[in-house]
Amino acid sequence: MTPVLEARNIHFGYRRNQEVLTDVSFAVEEGSNVGLVGESGAGKTTLLRILLGLAIPSAGQVFSDGMPFDARDRKQLRAYRRMTQTVFQDPYSSLDPRQTIGQILAEPLRSLGITTNATEIRQHMAESLRAVGLPTDITKRYPAEFSGGQRQRIAIARAIAPNPRVLLADEPVSALDVSTRIKVIDLLAELGRGVDGRTGMSVVLVTHDLGVVAALCDRVVILENGRVVEQGDTRSVMGLPQNGYTKRLLASVPRLPVVP
């Protein structure tokens, strides 16, 4: 099957400096969730920017449905944006405080040319709010009236409103409280599978948290200093890590004591 999104031999470097990404390749199959794992400086954010079309690789290519994607081509970028939406780490800074929830949710529908019809926009909004487990009557309220977990749900609702096939999530739960975290992870897992008659999508999760990857991702890509050191099925990579860095990463995760 042609992957819905694929990075092939991606390199990225700033002029005269050491490369930030070196020969990074991985594929996102339709409906499967992929975790991009690494610590600070691993190149996660740069890779995400490239996958979003916000940065151009110095070598290598992103493919969408098997077709090379050129972020400099405005027409391609527009089509790509309908297919690929994103959720950021901090729901306090990713939602415009002066816009109502309704304005926030309608924005991508209009700007991506999905619909300008008021009735259709209302339908889309209601559908995505229902999908993230929020009441549909909050569209006149402002982000400040909501908690961190609720705001992240609103950000997810905005991302899924145009029915993307890929959701790129950058540390979507690390700014949230522990008790909220698991609910948002469950929500992402549900959206990946498809709920309420929505088709499922692929979630690409950029994170440093292996617990979150284990809970959500079928596949995992381990990045160290801009290189892929290991990738594969989550349970084989984590169950039988081959690379020294992967092993060290796994051994470092704080664990709960075993309770009899």
Give the 3-state secondary structure percentages of the chain, helix then strand then coil, rounded to 5.
Answer: 40, 25, 40
Size of the site for other proteins (CB under 8 A): 35
Q: How far is the CB of 155 from other proteins (least distance, A)?
A: 18
**CA dihedral of 217, 220, 225, 226, whole degrees rounded to 10:** -90
Q: How far apart are CA 224 and CA 169, in angstroms?
A: 19
Among 55, 112, 182, 195, binds other proteins (CB under 8 A): 182
Which burial class, exposed, middle or buried, applies to 220 when counting CB atoms under 10 A from its CB (0-12, 13-18, 19+)? buried
Residues 71-110, mask of contacts with other proteins (x by CB under 8 A): ----------------------------------------
Residues 161-180 that bind other proteins (CB under 8 A): 177-179
Chain positions 19 to 48 lying near other proteins, rule: CB under 8 A, are 39-40
Distances (CA, A) of 161 to 110, 129, 191: 11, 9, 12
Cα separations in angstroms, 78 against 7, 72, 204, 216: 19, 11, 20, 28
Stretch that binds other proteins, among 1-9, 102-110, 157-165, 248-256 (CB under 8 A): 248-256
- What is the SS3 assignment for 5-18? EEEEEEEEECCCCC
Tell me which of 17, 118, 140, 240 binds other proteins, using CB under 8 A: 240
Which window, 7-15, 76-84, 128-136, 234-242, contacts other proteins (CB under 8 A)? Answer: 234-242
Near other proteins in 194-213, by CB under 8 A: 208-213
Contacts with other proteins by CB under 8 A lie at 39-40, 148, 177-179, 181-182, 185, 208-215, 234-236, 238-240, 248-257, 259-260
